[in-house]
Structure 1
Amino acid sequence: MTQPTNMTADISVSPSRLRRKDLLRLGWQGIHAHPLRATLSALGIAIGIAAMVAVIGISLSSQARVQERLASLGTNLLTVSAGKSFNNEDAVLPADAAERLKRIEGVEQVGWVGNMPNVAAYRNQYIEPSATNGLTVAATDTGLLSATSTELQSGSWFNDSTKQFPTTVLGATAAQRLGIVSPGGLITIGGQNHTVLGILKPSALAPQLDTSVLVGSTHAEAHLGFTSSPTTLFERSTDSTVESVRQLIPATINPKSPNEVSVSRPSDTLAAQHAIDTAFTGLLVGMGSIALLVGGVGVANTMVITVLERRREIGLRRALGATRAHVRMQFLVEAILLATYGGVAGVVLGVTTTALVSLANGWPLVTPPLISALALISTIAIGAISGMLPAMKAAKVAPTEALAA
């Protein structure tokens, strides 16, 4: 007869597990339960992301336009004008300054204007002499147009024949102020009627031409008292020799007093203007970052309220076997999903805004994918940081205390 033996069964309890898809489903259900609250919280994130993406995108699109403009106009234009003497008086360029400039190796084109401050232009002889409209009458040569990359809006430019007769070409602003809409009409310059040969388009590299009334140098010397001394010279050289030519110009034009010759590059002004726009863009990006942080605070506030409202749910899940880590991850994922929701909406809104602004201004659309990716990454990080404290608070809720509430 065998002795009975006590049989004991070893019962091993496997730890509670929460699969990733279940974790995502729980997080989404938490957001879906209060759609209006979730949307308003995500809106703060969306505004911050949209501001950053749009500002950077608009800035890059504007920069692309500036680069295209500089490429078409050229960065090899130098402007030469008279500076100041040692006595701080206005200096004067030599009458043959243009010919001297052409002798420098590397110089390809030279154009010039010579202002005539004592000569005024009017629509007709009946205009009050003091009503000059702020226009400048200047003599010029045939090379000015090509040297400054200025284009004609209508009509024609001076040639060796027409520059000898009472003809004129008007800058874009000058034509508007004089009421001239097309070539062929007459205006009064220095008390004499002049036929309008052409009207210029606005000049990007030589904006002083916009308010100028230009006459041929030969006619200006014979009938308007022009002294043959240019006020400003415009010089084009090869790209590789711009700097070397720039160094040689003062001593070439005025060997005795090179300090009285001023040389500048108009494209530097456009580049400086873009630098100012870039600094302003940095300010706007900073404001967008602040809006993004405010959105993060909104997410944190929403999650805190969610934890307080769902204490009984948390207690029930804890009683059914959910660990503190499970509860913590559930609410953390919910905060990340909420922030990501706002981030995706913000990127779409920012890219759309950039496209609309670029289209309205005729700019090329530039929206680097890296910017959108960084925006989403920062959104996820803000969501995780914003949801960390509420998630930890939810994990500390005791089952008995929550169910009794």
Structure 2
Amino acid sequence: MTVRSRLRPADALAVGTAGLGARRVRATLSALGIAIAIAALVAVLGVAESSKRQLLDELGRQGNLLTVATGQTFDGRPTPLPLTAQPMIARIPPVLATTAVGNIDDATVRRTERIPPQNTNGISVLAAQPSLPGTLSAHVLRGTYLGATAEQFPETVLGFAAARSLGINHVDAQTQVFIAGRYFTVIGVLDQVGVAPEIDTAALISFGVADHLFGLGGVPTRIYLRVDPDQVAAVAAVLGPTASPENPRDVQVQRPSDVILARIQAKGAFVGLFLGLGAIALLVAGVGIANIMVISVLERRAEIGLRRALGARRRDVAVQFLLESALLATIGGVAGIGLGCLATLVAARFAGNPVAIPPEAPLAGAAAALLVGALAGLYPAARAARLPPADALRTL
């Protein structure tokens, strides 16, 4: 009577590891496919979470910002608000701070007077108050902001995109731009203002100079206000009648943080798309492992037959090849998790976002790799287990 052997877990692991070690190049290439797919999945989740964390932080800082305007004319120019709009809005108790800008129509911004007037790169000219950086949480990237001197002399502060369009990378006493037929000294450049993109593409001058040179008359076209975070909805409801009692329906009240919410939702949609592509890559890698294991069964027919002749059960042979497939995928999964975390770190640092890798991303990556490896090894393992010992031994 033949005594059937029993394959202990430690022995099964040793046999499976030895099988992979005997074919290192093939095993490495197969694991690499899994690693790339898992790295893509982890990186997508990590980069998306890092970007989302940045947007949520910005949402927390900008959620209490409101803007007031009265629409545009037929030619696209913003219509002015009443002179009393800003003082009346500032009297609303939950309002913490206000600032206003006034659009200067038909004012072109060029690097020099030699540049044709039509080449303005979409840069507008806005009269701005000294309270603008504090109200919008804007930071001066280079130089200084408009001060008392700017109320008397032609000085300007450029938005981030405007400075880039004009090719201005530094600010000194000789840095000038040509605005509406007159040279203005550039005294500063603002950093990006995500909640107010119109500031990024503008050249800011003082209301005093705007009144003197362009006859603005101190009339604002847009008002920004910071509100008690718990009273945003209540303040927004009364801004129309407060800003323009005669025509409250013409007043447009907006919450710039809604743009941030839209960006968060858009990123969520792209995450789903990239996860789908990563899942397809993982499926392709699993098919590659299954193909490699089938070839391995064919090449090791003699080994299988000898083990069966020495008393190994079918289940032992099946476990051996199933374990090899799972080990191969697990090795690739672990490598992929490391690569994905590294890619997230590099991408977050490059974009200036906080590094945030959701804990479920590495766990999901490891589980997906193990599952794919197990499924990929089912057919090769079953085929090896069904191989008749006599037929297999004939290959010796």
Same fold? TM cut 0.5? yes
C-alpha separation between the residues in 2 aligned to 1:399 and 1:13?
Answer: 14
What secondary structure, in the 3-state scheme, does the structure 1 residue paired with 2:107 have? Answer: coil
Equivalent residue for 1:63, pick from 52, 74, 77: 52
8 Å CA contact 1:105–1:245 kept in 2: the answer is no
C-alpha separation between the residues in 2 aligned to 1:50 and 1:316?
Answer: 40
CA offsets 1:283-328 (integer angstroms, 9 cap, x no match): 1111111111111111111111111122222111111111111111
C-alpha separation between the residues in 2 aligned to 1:343 and 1:272?
Answer: 34
How far did residue 41 of structure 1 move? 1.7
Matched, 1:109 2:93: no
5 Å matches for 1:179-328? 181-182=170-171, 184-185=173-174, 187-192=177-182, 194-328=184-318
Structure 1 counterpart of 2:5: 16
C-alpha separation between the residues in 2 aligned to 1:347 and 1:178?
Answer: 44
> Which moves more between the two structures, 126-135 or 241-250?
126-135
How far did residue 42 of structure 1 move? 1.7
How far did residue 99 of structure 1 move? 1.4
C-alpha separation between the residues in 1 aligned to 2:5 and 2:151?
Answer: 96
Matched, 1:401 2:391: yes
Query: 1:62–1:337: structure 2 CA closer, same or farther, 3 Å change rule?
Result: same
8 Å CA contact 1:83–1:259 kept in 2: the answer is no
C-alpha separation between the residues in 1 aligned to 2:113 and 2:204?
Answer: 18
What secondary structure, in the 3-state scheme, does the structure 2 residue paired with 1:235 have? Answer: strand
Structure 2 counterpart of 1:9: none
- Provide the alpha-carbon RMSD of the alignment: 2.8
How far did residue 98 of structure 1 move? 0.9
What secondary structure, in the 3-state scheme, does the structure 2 residue paired with 1:280 have? Answer: helix
8 Å CA contact 1:190–1:224 kept in 2: the answer is no
Q: Residue 156 of structure 2 aligns to which amino acid in structure 1?
A: T
What secondary structure, in the 3-state scheme, does the structure 1 residue paired with 2:138 have? Answer: coil
What secondary structure, in the 3-state scheme, does the structure 1 residue paired with 2:355 have? Answer: coil
5 Å matches for 1:381-400? 381-400=371-390
CA offsets 1:127-180 (integer angstroms, 9 cap, x no match): 654444433222222322211111223444344674255443333344455566
Query: 1:274–1:29: structure 2 CA closer, same or farther, 3 Å change rule?
Result: same
8 Å CA contact 2:42–2:362 kept in 1: the answer is yes
Structure 2 counterpart of 1:27: 16
What secondary structure, in the 3-state scheme, does the structure 2 residue paired with 1:215 have? Answer: strand
8 Å CA contact 1:165–1:216 kept in 2: the answer is no
C-alpha separation between the residues in 1 aligned to 2:113 and 2:291?
Answer: 75
What fraction of aligned residue pairs are identical, expressed as a percent? 41
Equivalent residue for 1:119, pick from 107, 110, 123: 107
C-alpha separation between the residues in 1 aligned to 2:4 and 2:164?
Answer: 85
Structure 1 counterpart of 2:38: 49
Structure 1 counterpart of 2:87: 99
Q: Residue 125 of structure 2 aligns to which amino acid in structure 1?
A: V
8 Å CA contact 1:119–1:224 kept in 2: the answer is no
How far did residue 200 of structure 1 move? 2.5
What secondary structure, in the 3-state scheme, does the structure 1 residue paired with 2:69 have? Answer: strand
How far did residue 112 of structure 1 move? 0.8
Query: 1:372–1:241: structure 2 CA closer, same or farther, 3 Å change rule?
Result: same
Matched, 1:74 2:62: yes
**Aligned length in residues:** 392
8 Å CA contact 2:45–2:358 kept in 1: the answer is no
How far did residue 337 of structure 1 move? 1.1
What secondary structure, in the 3-state scheme, does the structure 2 residue paired with 1:108 have? Answer: strand
5 Å matches for 1:359-398? 359-398=349-388
- In the superposition, the TM-score normalised over structure 1's length comes to 0.87
How far did residue 78 of structure 1 move? 0.9
CA offsets 1:348-393 (integer angstroms, 9 cap, x no match): 2212222222233333222234321221112111111111111111
How far did residue 276 of structure 1 move? 1.6
Q: Could you list the runs of 5+ residues in structure 1 that have no partner in the other structure?
A: 1-11
Matched, 1:168 2:195: no
How far did residue 122 of structure 1 move? 4.7
Q: Residue 266 of structure 1 aligns to which amino acid in structure 2?
A: P
Q: Could you list the runs of 5+ residues in structure 2 that have no partner in the other structure?
A: none
Q: Residue 274 of structure 1 aligns to which amino acid in structure 2?
A: I
C-alpha separation between the residues in 2 aligned to 1:160 and 1:31?
Answer: 76
What secondary structure, in the 3-state scheme, does the structure 2 residue paired with 1:263 have? Answer: strand
Query: 1:62–1:117: structure 2 CA closer, same or farther, 3 Å change rule?
Result: same
C-alpha separation between the residues in 2 aligned to 1:46 and 1:302?
Answer: 16
C-alpha separation between the residues in 2 aligned to 1:374 and 1:179?
Answer: 47
